[in-house]
Amino acid sequence: MRHRLPATYLDIVKSPTVAHWFKMRTVLLAARLFGFWNKPRPLVVDESKWTLVDEAHFSYKYIKPLTSAEKGLPELLFANDRSAVRLPGAFKAKNTLTIGAAGDLMPAEGLQESKDVLFENVADLLFDADVSFANLEGPVSDTKFDINFVGGNSPHILGFTRAEFEAITSHKGRSFRILSFANNHSFDKGIEGLDTTQDMLSRYGIVALGTPAAPEEYGRATIVTENGIRLGFVSATYSLNGLNPPPEAAYRVHVTELNVNPDLELLKLQVMDCKRNNCDFIIASIHWGQEAEFFPRKKQIEIAHTLIEEGVDLILGHHPHVIQPIEYYRTKRDKDRIAVIAYSLGGLGMRWYTAPHFALGLILKLKVSKGVVDGTERTYIESVSPVPVFQNIFVSYFGHTRIKRIEKLEDHVKNGESGALNRYAIEIKRYADLVLPNEPIGRRKERPAVSER
């Protein structure tokens, strides 16, 4: 791991004016000295109306991520143990499938140089699964992307070239099966970006979620059948960063309020569509939550439980860019059903940044079984395993080209190992232990406190 890289985008941010830079630095310094942002802050309804303080708070969390939960968050969320996930005793399995799910696939400078290297150490978790899933955080476009960030309320424009798309969505000829494209960066390049992305997804045989190609597809589920199991996918994003499609193209992205005043009708419509089409198992891909916060907000938990009782069996959350707890929820609608709620899977690395909280991500391994119990056909999660991973950035042997590779955290925190990469992995592990206290990672038994940096 070469650390001559920015820790977060704030190391390269350009303030629009000297006055803005001075005010921002003053607020950030005060927050660090007095610690008044070390606990969750009330949410702002409209991000386009952020004040300087709102912007500074957002920036502060990038430097010093929020490791405290919102007051009143259910303790059960932190105490959950995946050993609760098992098939009912009388269950007779007929069909099974495996799922490998990751969070955000983020753009990065020169990403194409990492083709067929990026996933080589985690390919078994993703591309060996029957169904592989992730969130594509930005459109593919043939127009130029400006990767320089600026201060102020203007959204950051993200996206991929065609070569970068190929590098981050496939490994040695195998591609993700499902990619969610309903996120706050879906419309960063307008209709051209949506169309180009849909074209690339189609070329690689990847099923897209959350971006209907026709008006009649809006509010409909995406259905995939694998190994005799009919999977229904529902999807939505909380925002498009104010870059909304024109009225005649409003159907192009599944977007609804999910943070302050949640509106679940769009998601419920898709769940109903899954039921009409006799889906065996329903998966929700939700782009939501607060960036750089290691725990979900109470409203998210309420939303998750509501969707589960509506019929969703698995929730795959993304957007915060850090990982959040996984809840194993016994449903009221079926006493034998344990739904899995991954509030945030984080991502597979954020650009070329080295901050350990952003380097960490989760890949979720699941086995789903369809069979019969008490004379009734049911489909349940048979097993689940969260695998912490992190991005390793290094220089190639043949020059000064930066290469990114996703590593399994457990492979680099073993006793007796030494070196910069091992020390970096141990620093990352502190955040994994915070969120996944019941998951043994490597062979270390201690649970050190997260350092406040």
Please write the tens of the pLDDT for every residue from 23-50: 888 998 999 899 989 999 988 766 667 7
Residue 52's H or E segment, with its range, is helix 52-63
Q: Using alpha carbons, list the distances in angstroms from residue 89 to 86, 336, 372, 382.
A: 9, 10, 11, 12
Which residue type, as a one-letter code, is found at position 2? Answer: R
Q: What are the residues whose beta carbons fall under 8 Å from the beta carbon of 106, sequence distance 6 or more?
A: 137, 138, 158, 347, 348, 349, 350, 351
The predicted pLDDT at position 448 comes to 36
**For residues 350 and 70, what is the distance between their CA atoms, to the nearest angstrom?**
25
For the ranges 60-74, 133-147, 158-172, the maximum mean pLDDT occurs at: 158-172
pTM beyond 0.85: the answer is yes
Position 169 scores a pLDDT of: 97
Q: What is the mean pLDDT of the chain?
A: 90
Q: Which long-range contacts (CB under 8 A, 24 or more apart) does 297-301 make?
A: 297/40, 297/43, 297/70, 297/259, 298/70, 298/72, 298/73, 299/259, 299/260, 299/262, 300/258, 300/343, 301/73, 301/74, 301/77, 301/327, 301/343
Chain position carrying tokens 């708070």: 57
Q: For 160-164, 210-214, 332-336, 400-404, which range has the lowest pLDDT when averaged over its residues?
A: 400-404
Residues in the chain, overall count: 453
Residue type for 278, please?
N
More confident residue, 35 or 79: 35
- Residues 121 and 388: their CA atoms lie apart, in Å, by 13
pLDDT above 60: residue 150: no
Q: What's the confidence (pLDDT) of residue 443?
A: 47
User: Which contiguous run of DSSP H or E holds residue 31?
Assistant: helix 18-34
pLDDT of residue 4: 67
pLDDT at 245: 93
Per-residue three-class SS string for 227-270: CCEEEEEEEEECCCCCCCCCHHHHHHCCECCCCCCCCCHHHHHH
pLDDT at 214 over 50: yes
CA atoms within 13 A of residue 64's CA, in its CB half-sphere: 18
Q: Which of 9-13, 36-40, 99-103 has maximum average pLDDT? A: 99-103
Question: Per the structure block, which two tokens stand in for 190?
Answer: 């307008």
| Span 197-209, average pLDDT | 97
Nearest C-alpha neighbor of 206 from the set 228, 233, 188? 233
Asked if 294 contacts 324 with a C-beta cutoff of 8 angstroms, the reply is yes
Q: Is the pLDDT of residue 187 over 70?
A: yes
Q: How confident is the model at residue 438 (pLDDT cuts 50, 70, 90)?
A: confident
- CB contact at 8 A, 450 and 426: no
Per the model's pLDDT, the better-predicted residue between 53 and 190 turns out to be: 190
Instruction: Quote the CA–CA distance of 351 and 212 in Å, as a whole number.
Output: 28
CB neighbour list of residue 219: distance below 8 Å, 6 or more residues apart: 254, 266, 269, 270, 273
DSSP class of residue 448?
A: P
Q: What is the mean pLDDT of residues 138-159?
A: 74
Question: For the residues 157-176, what does the mean pLDDT come to?
Answer: 95
Instruction: Please state, for a pLDDT cut of 70, what percent of the chain lies above it.
Output: 91
Identify the top-confidence range among 11-20, 143-152, 340-349.
340-349
Q: Count other C-beta atoms under 10 Å from residue 152's C-beta.
A: 14
Strands 207-209 and 178-180: parallel
